[in-house]
Amino acid sequence: MMEHSLVEQVSVQEKVVAFTFDDGPHPVYTHQVLEIFRRAGGHATFFMIGKEMEAYPDIAAEVHREGHEIANHTYTHPNLTELTLEEAEKELQQAERLIQEVTGSAARSFRPPYFGVNEDILALAAEQGYHSIGTVNGGARDWDNPGVEHILEHSRSVVKSGSVLIFHDGYGDRSQTVEAVRVLVEELTMQGYRLVTVSELMRLAK
């Protein structure tokens, strides 16, 4: 039995949900996502790739400045289970260094690319001080561009208080994702949900 696991859902007392965005920052889509959350008065968590942070440091800085959380999604986006533990640790540490340069503090959350984990990787992440984060709406598959309605249907059907939702703001055309997120953010805020970072969600766990 695995001692560590990916956090997908947290037991909470209030109506909160954590939107997360992988693979950025991106010069087009990250800005669009920021605008959605600016209007909604909520915050999200951005699992950034180190190499993309190097390419777009100003966008990473803007994400942080607006109160969102920047979390670790490795430096080059490999499947960590295909690396040695030393290589995996280096991936985390290179990304961590960049995050600290932008935020001035350590990242608290990590999401493995492709959800590629085993007990060794989960233990490594825990040793580095991270919560390893999964999602409840993997069926939305926004990374495949399955259509706005598909993304919405497979997110609406699983979301509840304490859920972690995954979307992508980097790598390829993310216009479907942005439109789905726009609709979902509007719906959930109308239903009384507060949009929080993963770290805030973890603090609210009862």
Q: Would you call 152 exposed, middle or buried from its count of C-beta atoms within 10 A (0-12, 13-18, 19+)?
A: buried
* 22 catalytic per annotation: yes
Q: Which of 131, 142, 168, 169 is catalytic?
A: 168
Q: Which of 4, 22, 31, 64 is catalytic?
A: 22
The token pair that represents 153 in the structure block? 């249907």
Q: Do residues 102 and 53 touch, judged by C-beta distance below 8 A?
A: yes
CA angle 36, 38, 42 (to 5 degrees): 90
Q: Would you call 69 exposed, middle or buried from its count of C-beta atoms within 10 A (0-12, 13-18, 19+)?
A: buried
CA distance 66 to 119: 35
* 23 catalytic per annotation: no
In terms of residues, how long is the chain?
Answer: 206
- Catalytically active residues, by annotation: 22, 168
